[in-house]
Amino acid sequence: MTERVSANPGRELHTVGTTRLMNYDIAKFLHITGVAMLMGNITVTAIWKFYADRDGRPSVLAFAQKLVTYTDWSMTVWGVVLIMGGGYYMVLKTGMPLTQGWLLWSQIHFVLAGLIWLFLIVPIQIKQARLARGFAGSDVGDEYRALSRRWLTWGLISTVPPVVATWLMVAKPA
């Protein structure tokens, strides 16, 4: 079986057979597809939700709020599944130590982003979705607006760890 060496600056070379290499490449492709889905969704959602909030009409915000939930389920959750599935598959197949600098810190940043999302952002979204279901009249109310500001702030903060993780994965400092 042909041997090929996958050379990446800053990381130990590893030699793998053709089939394993193909599986590795597929896993890496899925991993990066997951990164694109996660990063794409968390950044673009902040932009269109910001403009929906500025529009202020209850019907627009009720629709936007529904889309926040739909896109979380279809893009963020599946992005995370692909990142973890592809990432840990590559680690398992090559025997890279999970504790080496760039891998360890990427995982820490990934978990940090997950905790912010799960314990700060999702509860705000649940409250907003509940309020949006009861929108009546021409105003969404102060509580909804205050929650929107908090959601945007935490949303922006939560994009920092995945950006750092992306850099660590690409640069692979020791």
Which residues are near ligand HEM by CB under 6 A?
8, 11, 28, 31-32, 35, 83-84, 87-88, 90-91, 96, 106-107, 110, 162, 165-166, 169-170
> Terminus-to-terminus CA distance in the chain, angstroms?
31
C-beta nearest to ligand HEM: residue: 87
Which residue, 42 or 132, has its beta carbon nearer to ligand HEM? Answer: 42
Which residue, 126 or 170, has its beta carbon nearer to ligand HEM? Answer: 170
> Minimal distance in Å, beta carbon 165 to ligand HEM?
4
Q: How far apart are CA 20 and CA 135, in angstroms?
A: 55
> Minimal distance in Å, beta carbon 123 to ligand HEM?
22
- Cβ atoms of residues 76 and 118 within 8 Å: no
Element (H, E) at 86: helix 77-94
> Minimal distance in Å, beta carbon 63 to ligand HEM?
29
Which residue, 25 or 55, has its beta carbon nearer to ligand HEM? Answer: 25
> Minimal distance in Å, beta carbon 99 to ligand HEM?
11
Q: How far apart are CA 142 and CA 119, in angstroms?
A: 22
User: Measured between alpha carbons, how far is residue 49 from residues 42, 54, 83, 124, 149 in Å?
Assistant: 11, 9, 25, 14, 11
Which residue, 65 or 106, has its beta carbon nearer to ligand HEM? Answer: 106
Q: How far apart are CA 56 and CA 51, in angstroms?
A: 9
